Structure 1
Amino acid sequence: MTQPESPFGPWTGEWISAAQAVADGLHRIGFRRDFTLADPPGAVPLRISADSRYVLWVNGQEIGRGPVRGQPYRWTYDDYDIGAALVEGLNTIAVLVTFYGHDNAIWQRARVSSGLGSSACLIVDLPYAWAALASGPAWTARPMTAWSTLPGAGMLASLPVEIVDQRELDVDWLLPAGDTTEFLSAVPAQALHPGGSRRSRPPAYPYGALRPRGIARLDGDLVSPASATLVRPGEQPSRPPIDSVQAALSGVAALAERSTTESAHRSSPDDPLLWQFDFGRVLSGFVEFAFDAPAGTVFDLAYLERPHDPAQDARYVPRAGARIIARGGPGRFHALETNGVRVAAVLITPPMSADVRIEELRVREHVYPFAPGASFASSDSELERLWHAGVRTVQVNSSDAFTDCPTREQRAWVGDGVVHLGVHLVANRDWRLVERYLDMCDSPRADGMLPMSVAGDIESDSRYTIPDWSLHWLHGLWTYARASHKLDVVRTHLPTAERMLTWFEQYADVDGVLADVPEWGLVDWASVFTSGRSAILTALWVRGLREFAELCDAVGNMGSARWARDLVARTEIGFECFWDPNRAVYVDHIVDGIQMPAVSQAANAAAIVADLVSAERRTALARRITDESHLVSRGWNAASPDRTLAEKVQDRAAGVQRIDWDVRRWIVRAEPFFSSVVHDAVAHAGCADLLPRLLRRWLRFLVDGYDTFGECWDWGTPAHGWSSTPTSDLVTHVLGVSPVGLETDVYRIAPAAAGIEWMRATVPTRAGLLSIELVGGQLTVDSPLPVRIQTWRGEVLALPAGGHRIDLAVESNSGEPVHERA
C-alpha cells in the first residue's frame, strides 16, 4: 500500500514524564494538555508514542491506542487526525500511559536503569502550525495510583492483569472540566547514558529515531454474549483476582446455573454472585461493562477460552482477567489490556447486603482488519467452512503481531507466524502485517539465530531458542518475496538469513547431515525425534538453503547462492542414510550410526519439500505417509493409551522421550502446525487431490460453537494461529493458485482433480485480485498477471493477463487444450 506523504518534519515534541515519583514495576501516568480554540480547524494531524502503551483521548473521546509491540531500540509511533474531536473554547488532550516495568509476553524492557526508558514516558508531536501543543513543559502529568497488577507466573501466565480501584480514580480527568489539582508540569525524559547529552527528542536511546507503525489500525465489532447464567457460590475466602473466580467456579460445578436476563440481584459478602457470560466463540479484544454497586464492591473477572471444567489441567487454563473495585453508584469498566475470551466469568462481592447490577458486558474486538475482496466458495460446504475458520483463527491472532493464541500467551512466536503469513497472502489484500512479522522477527541473537519469540520476555531474557523456528521464518520470507516481488524486503533480511543458515552449518557432519543440534528441537508437539543425526532438521535446513539461494539470485548475490547450493549438493547424497528400504520411508534420526525405528510424517514431508526425495519415490512416499491405516497420533505433551498426561509431563521434565506406540508399524502424525509442511509435500509430490480428505480432519475443532482451529489434535487452546493451514492449502494447492517465482511475474494455476463439483475464489496478488472458478473440469480465470495453466493431462498453457476459459480434461483435435478468452 502506498503511504501518504507525512505532514511532519523533525520532532518538535520531546519525551516527557511525571515530576512525581512513580512505583517500581507497573505504573500508569496521566498526561494532559489544555488549550483554547476560537475556530476549530477541520484537520489537525498528531503523532504519538509512549513506553509501554498509551490510550489517547481528546475531550473525553477515545482516539486510539498504541504503540504496536516491538523491540525498544526500534520503537514506533502512531499518527491521527484529531480535528473532528476539537470544539470551540476549551479543549483537552489526555493520555494514559502504562509502563509495565517487568518483561511480559507482549513487552520487553529497555536495558536502562535511569532516565529515558526506565519509566513511563510520552511524546506527542504536531506540525509546525500546531507545535505549541507538542509534548513539553506546557503539558501536565500525575501518577495514576488506582491501578496495580499481579506478578507474572511463568511462560503460560505472563499477560498483564488489570486491577483498578475506581475509588481512587477521578473519572473526569479526561475532560476539560476535570480536576487538575494533582497534575504538575511534566518534565523531560532524558537519555542519561554517557554521550546521551540528556537528549529528549528523537533520535534518542533507547527508542532511536521512532518509525511509523506501518500497519493498519486494529478494530473490530462490539460483541454481546450469546448467553448469561447466574449462580450463588456461597461465601468465598479472600483470594487474588482470577484465582478467586476459578475457585468459585470449581465449587459450584454441581450447582444448577440459572439463565437470566435480569441485571440486578441482591447480594452480600457471604452471598456473592457468580456470572458467566458465554460469547459462543473465542473473541479477542477489550472487555467492558456497566454496573451499579456500593463503594468497595469487588468485581473479579476470569477470561476463559472454554466453559470451566474443574478436571482441566490448571497449567493450561489462561491466567487472564481483571479486578475492579467500585467507587459507589453507577460505573463503567473499559479494559486497558486486550484479552482472548469465550466465557467471561464475574464474581461480584459487595461489602454489605445490597442490590448489585451488572449489564452491557461486551467485548470490543481489537484485531487486524482483513481488507475485503478475497473469498472462497464451494459446493462442498465443509471446505468452505474450513476456509472461513482458518481466516477467523488467524484474525484473532493478528493484532500488532502474529500471535499464538489470544487467550493464554499472545506471544509473537517466530515459527508460528509462517502459517499466519500464508493465510494473509490468500485472504487479505493488505500485506503490511506480513512485512511487520518478517521485520520484527529479524532480531537475531549474537550468534545469528532468531529468538523463538520476539518483542517480549523470551527475547529480553536471551533464552534458548527453537532452531527450526528460524528456518520457518526464512520460508516465510521466501513465500512473501515470491508473492510481492519486493526485492528491497529481500535485501533487508538476507544477511540475517545467511547468518542463521551458517549457525546450522557448524552441526553438519562430513555428509552434510545435521547432528546433535542443541536447544529445543520442537518441530511441533508430535512425538518426533531430532536427537543424533536428524532427518527433520537436516531437511528443513536444506529447504532453507534452496530458498536462500533463490532469493540471492533475485538480488544478484551469486557468491552466497553458490555457497548454499554447494551445501545442498553435499547433503543430497548424505541424506540417503535415513532411508529405510524395508519400509520405504525415511526414519526420524540415527544415533551412534544406527537407524532408530521411529518414523513420522514430519521427517518424510520435510524431505519431500526439500527436494531430497527422488521423483521415483516421491508420489508413493506422499501417499504412504497420508494413508490413515499407517498413522497414529502421539504427542510429547498429550496423554496416550499407555501414559497419562501427568506421566508425559514428568517424562518431559526428566528429558525422556518415551515411545508409546508400535514404532515399526506406525507413522506418527504431524500436529496441525507441521501439517502445513505435510500438505506442501503432498502437493509437491503431485497428490493435491488427497488434500480435501486430509483437511477434513480440522472439522473436529469446529464444534460447540467454536469457529476457530485448536492448537493440537487432543489438547491446547481452541484458537491457535499456527493451525490455520486449511485456508492457504485450499487456495494454493486444491485450486492451485500460486506465484511461479522471483524470476518471472506470473501466476501458476494448477487445480487438483479432487472430484469437487465446483469451487471459486478471489485471491489477492500484488497487482490486484485474481478470480478463479472450477466447475467440473471447466476452469475460468481472470488474472491481473500472466498465468501458466496446468491441465489435468499435463499440458501447460502460458497465457497473458485477462480472462480465460479452459477445459482441463479435454484436448482439441490439434492436441492442444481447449481454450478461449473469457
Structure 2
Amino acid sequence: MTEFSSIPAHARWIGSDHPFDLHEVYLDFRSPADFSLDPQLASAQLFISADSRYKVWVNGVFVGRGPARSWPHAQQFDSHDIAPLLHTGKNSIAVQVYQPGYSHFAYLHRGAAGLLAWLECDSTIALVSDQSWRVRRDPSFSAAVERVSIYSSGVEERDLRLADDWSAPDYNAAAWAAARIVAPAESPLWSGLRQRTTPLLGEERTIFTSQPLCRLGSMVTESDDPHAQIRTGWPAAPPLTLAMDKAGWFTPTIKVGETAYWLFDLGHGHTCQGIAEVEGAGGAESLLVSYGDKRRDGELVISDPTTYCRVHLTDRTHLQAGDQIVEGFSLRGGRFLLFALTGPAWPGLRIRFGVRTAAYPLLDDRPLTTDDPELDAIIRLCETTLRACLQDTFVDGVWRESSQWLGDALVQAQALWAMSSDARPMRATLEMAAQGAYADGVLPSILPGEVHSYCVVDYNFSWVELLAFYFSATDDQDFVVRQWPTLTKLLERFHQDSASDGLIRSQPGRRLFLDWSPQSRQEPNAVYNLRYLYALQQAAGLAEALGGAEAQWVEVWGKRAKALRLCVAAAFRSDERWWDDSQRSTRSQLAAALALLTGAAEMDEWNGLAAALVARSLNLDDSQRDGQLVLASPFMHHYIFEALHRAGQNDAVVEIIRCRWGRWAAGGFPTTWENWNVDFPDGSQCHAFSAHPRYHLARILGERVSG
C-alpha cells in the first residue's frame, strides 16, 4: 500500500450531469480524451474513492474495486499501482460507480453520488478528477430492482443489448456529458479523507471445468421476478445430462419456453461473483445467477424473500446477439452458484461458467496443528470460516449480508489473532465503532450504517473487551489512548442507566440481544448486568496497565464494579443457583458462565458452576427442557470457554469443542454454523462468530506447551 503525501488541491468529487441520478444508478466515467503521459515512468499510483462503490479499468484492463467501507466523515480511499498498464502517449482510465440511493448495512448514504481520483506519476500529479472527465448513466442497468436483502443494496437487472464496450481504451465518449463538480475533496459530504487501513482484496477468476448438476425445465411465466423464477423453476425441473468439453463449454439445446440450469458447489462459502462466457447468442436469451448457502436433504435451499431477512439473491442479464461476458458489478457471496439460461437459445450457442472470488491477503504466520485428527479437522473448519468471512473488515457471513457487527468482531478478532499477527482488521473495527458513536456515547452495532433498530446495547461491552484484548495483544498504547475518550463516554452513559437497585436496564428503542438462545430477556437481566460488570472490570484493568492520566479511572470503575457485583449477586443468585431475571423464569449457561468469569459467584461456587456448564454442553440434545440450563449458542459459548478457562477446566473446553464442533467436521461441513440448528429460513452454515474455538484451542495448547 503506497503512502500519499497530500490530496491535490484541485481534485474534485465529480458526478452525473443530472444531480438526481441517485437511485440504483450506475455511472460510467472516462478520463479526458487528451490524457497522455511521457515515457519512462518509474511509478504511477492511482488514488481513488467513490460513493458508494467503484470498479476501475486502465487502458481496458480491470484493476480493482473499492473503496473499503467507511463513515462519510472518515472517508477512505484506495491506491492502485497502475504503472505496468500505462504507456507513452494517450491512456484511458474508466470507472464505474454504483449508487443505491439509500443506506444499508455496509454504507451510509449522503444524498449524493461521486467519484474522487488522482494519478501520481513519479511524485507529480498527472491527472485529477474534475469537469474535464466525461460521464453518463449506464443505460444497461435497470433501476427498478428489489434489494438483495434487508442488509444490502440492489439486485442487478441488466440488458446487454443496451451495453457497449465503454471501458475499452479507444472508446469515444465525446457524446457523453461533462462531469459535474459535486464537491471539493474535503467537504461536508465527505471529510476526514484517509488512506485505506486494510489491504485490497486479492481477486481470482476461475472457469469451471468440473461437471455440475444440470436440469432442464419449463420456463416460469407466473412471475417476472428472477428470484421467484429460480425458486419455482429449479425444484420442478428434472435432471438432465448436458455435455461439457474439456474447456468447460456447453452447447445446450433450449427451446422456446424452456430453461436450463447448472448448479456448482464451490466447496465452502466465498465472497464471489458468478460469471459466464457466451458465444453465438441470438439476443433473446436471459441468464440468471443465484447464490446459495446450504442444502437440506440433498436439495439446494433457495431463500424465501417473504421471510424476515428478505433474501433475494438472484441477478438477471438479458443477452445481446453475439459473443459476450456476463459479469455483474457487485460481489455477492455463498457456497453454491446456480445459473439458469432461458431460451430460445440460438443454434450453436456456447456457454461456459466461472466464478470471481475475492479474498483478504492474510498472513498465516501462527499455524496450529495437533496429533489429534479430530481436533485438526475442527481447526481447519474454523480457519476456513474465518478466512471466508474476512473482506475489507470482519463480516458475519458472506451469503445473506456481509455485514460487520461490532459484537461478532470480538470473537473474530481473537480467533484471527491466534492465526495471524495481522492486527489491521481488529484495529479498523475498534476505530470505526468509535467514529460512529452516537451523541450520547453509545456505539453503533453495524459498521458503518444507519441501522438504529439494531443498535445492540450489549455489543458496547464487546467493544470494551476488544479494546482490552487489542492492548494485551499488541501493546499499542498510542492507539488505545486515542480511543480513551470513546471508552470513558461510553461507560459514563451506561452508568446513567443505574437504577435504585444498583442494576442497569436496556435503553428504550435500542436492542437487547444477549444470545440467540431462549433465555429470559426480562429486566433487570442477569446477563446484561454481568456483561456490564465484565466491561467495567476489563476497563479498570486496561486503565491500570496504561498508567499515566488514564490510571485515574482505575478507582472509578473499580468501585462501580464492586458495587454492581454485590447487587447482581443479591438480585439473581438464589438457592445456590444463578437466574436470568428476578422472576426466576430461566437459568442459562451464559448467566452462570458470566457469574464465574466476573467473580460475582463466590469461589466456593466455581466447581459446581463449572460442572453444570460442562454437563449441559456435553449433552448433545439441543432442545430446551424445563429445569435445565438454557444452552448457549455457538457464538456465546465463547464465554462458556472463558469461564471454564478461569476455573482451570481447560480439558473440559477441549472436550466440548470436540463434541459440539466435531459434529460439523464429522458431517463434512466446511465451515461453522450460525447456530446449532440452521433450519430456520435464512440460517447460515458459514458464520464467523462460531469459529472462536480456533482461539481457545491455540491458547490452551500453547499453555500446555509452555507449562
Change (3 A) 1:6 1:108: closer
Counterpart position of 2:74:
74
Deviates more, 1:700-709 or 1:300-309: 700-709
Q: How far 1:500 sits from its partner (Å)?
A: 2.4
Structure number with greater Rg is 1
1:712 to 675, 683, 700: 675
Deviates more, 1:261-270 or 1:47-56: 261-270
Q: Any stretches of 5+ residues in structure 1 without a counterpart?
A: 113-117, 191-199, 635-639, 641-660, 737-749, 752-778, 780-788, 792-822
Q: Structure 2 matches for 1:157-306, cutoff 5 A?
A: 158-171=152-165, 173-190=166-183, 200=184, 202-223=185-206, 227-237=211-221, 238-252=223-237, 255-258=238-241, 260-261=243-244, 263-292=250-279, 293-306=281-294
Q: Which letter maps to 1:178?
A: Y
Give the conservation status (yes or no) of the 8 Å contact 1:294–1:327.
Answer: yes
**Percent of aligned pairs sharing the same letter:** 23
Q: Distance in 2 between matches of 1:246 and 1:709?
A: 26
SS at 1:541 equivalent? helix
Change (3 A) 1:391 1:355: same
Q: How far 1:65 sits from its partner (Å)?
A: 0.9
Change (3 A) 1:158 1:149: farther
Q: How far 1:406 sits from its partner (Å)?
A: 0.6
Q: How far 1:32 sits from its partner (Å)?
A: 1.4
Q: Distance in 1 between matches of 2:374 and 2:617?
A: 23
Give the conservation status (yes or no) of the 8 Å contact 2:139–2:162.
Answer: yes
Change (3 A) 1:499 1:248: same
Counterpart position of 1:765:
none
Counterpart position of 2:117:
123
Q: Distance in 2 between matches of 1:527 and 1:19?
A: 54
Say whether 1:627 aligns with 2:615. yes
1:419 to 390, 411, 419: 411
Give the conservation status (yes or no) of the 8 Å contact 1:42–1:84.
Answer: no
Change (3 A) 1:353 1:23: same
Say whether 1:334 aligns with 2:327. yes
Change (3 A) 1:158 1:723: same
Counterpart position of 2:25:
27
Give the conservation status (yes or no) of the 8 Å contact 2:41–2:121.
Answer: no
Change (3 A) 1:268 1:705: farther
SS at 1:122 equivalent? strand
Q: Which letter maps to 2:227?
A: I
Change (3 A) 1:154 1:42: closer
Q: Distance in 1 between matches of 2:144 and 2:666?
A: 34
Counterpart position of 1:6:
4
Q: How far 1:210 sits from its partner (Å)?
A: 0.9
Change (3 A) 1:21 1:580: closer
Counterpart position of 1:807:
none
Change (3 A) 1:7 1:80: farther
Q: Distance in 2 between matches of 1:536 and 1:421?
A: 22
Counterpart position of 2:701:
735
Query: Could you list the per-position Cα deviations for residues 219-248 of structure 1 after superposition, in whole angstroms to 9, with x for gaps in the alignment?
Result: 154455554122112132142222211221
Change (3 A) 1:580 1:562: closer
Say whether 1:681 aligns with 2:643. yes
Give the conservation status (yes or no) of the 8 Å contact 2:149–2:313.
Answer: no
TM norm structure 1: 0.79
SS at 1:283 equivalent? strand
Counterpart position of 1:147:
141
Larger helix share, 1 or 2 = 2
Change (3 A) 1:384 1:704: closer
2:341 to 339, 343, 348: 348
Change (3 A) 1:516 1:177: closer
Give the conservation status (yes or no) of the 8 Å contact 2:590–2:632.
Answer: yes
Q: Distance in 2 between matches of 1:334 and 1:688?
A: 49
Q: Structure 2 matches for 1:746-757, cutoff 5 A?
A: 750-751=703-704
Counterpart position of 2:380:
388
Say whether 1:512 aligns with 2:478. no
Q: Which letter maps to 1:218?
A: L
Counterpart position of 2:468:
478
Q: How far 1:730 sits from its partner (Å)?
A: 0.6
2:14 to 13, 16, 39: 16
Q: Structure 2 matches for 1:695-710, cutoff 5 A?
A: 695-696=657-658, 697-702=660-665, 705-710=668-673
Q: Which letter maps to 2:644?
A: V
Give the conservation status (yes or no) of the 8 Å contact 1:46–1:126.
Answer: yes
Q: Distance in 1 between matches of 2:80 and 2:304?
A: 45
Aligned residues: 684
Q: Which letter maps to 1:702?
A: A
Computed over aligned residues only, the root mean square deviation of the Cα atoms, in angstroms, reads 2.5
Say whether 1:590 aligns with 2:582. yes
Query: Could you list the per-position Cα deviations for residues 351-395 of structure 1 after superposition, in whole angstroms to 9, with x for gaps in the alignment?
Result: 566444320x22222122211322011111121122222122122
Q: Which letter maps to 2:646?
A: H
Q: Distance in 2 between matches of 1:132 and 1:312?
A: 48
Change (3 A) 1:236 1:8: same
Q: How far 1:397 sits from its partner (Å)?
A: 1.3
Q: How far 1:721 sits from its partner (Å)?
A: 1.2
Query: Could you list the per-position Cα deviations for residues 135-181 of structure 1 after superposition, in whole angstroms to 9, with x for gaps in the alignment?
Result: 1233222221211356555964634322221111112x222211324
Q: How far 1:21 sits from its partner (Å)?
A: 6.1
Deviates more, 1:207-216 or 1:23-32: 23-32
Q: Which letter maps to 2:685?
A: P
Change (3 A) 1:352 1:383: closer
Deviates more, 1:97-106 or 1:478-487: 97-106
TM norm structure 2: 0.91
Q: Distance in 1 between matches of 2:664 and 2:143?
A: 34
Q: Distance in 1 between matches of 2:701 and 2:511?
A: 36
Give the conservation status (yes or no) of the 8 Å contact 2:590–2:636.
Answer: yes
Change (3 A) 1:27 1:120: farther
Higher relative contact order (CA 8 A, sep 6+): 2
Q: Which letter maps to 1:236?
A: V
Counterpart position of 1:364:
356
Q: Which letter maps to 1:182?
A: A
1:454 to 430, 444, 447: 447
Change (3 A) 1:695 1:207: same
Q: Distance in 1 between matches of 2:617 and 2:531?
A: 26
Say whether 1:489 aligns with 2:479. yes
Q: Distance in 2 between matches of 1:137 and 1:509?
A: 59
Give the conservation status (yes or no) of the 8 Å contact 1:250–1:310.
Answer: no
Q: Distance in 2 between matches of 1:406 and 1:93?
A: 30
Give the conservation status (yes or no) of the 8 Å contact 1:13–1:131.
Answer: no
Change (3 A) 1:318 1:85: same
Change (3 A) 1:232 1:85: same
Q: How far 1:129 sits from its partner (Å)?
A: 5.8
Larger strand share, 1 or 2 = 1
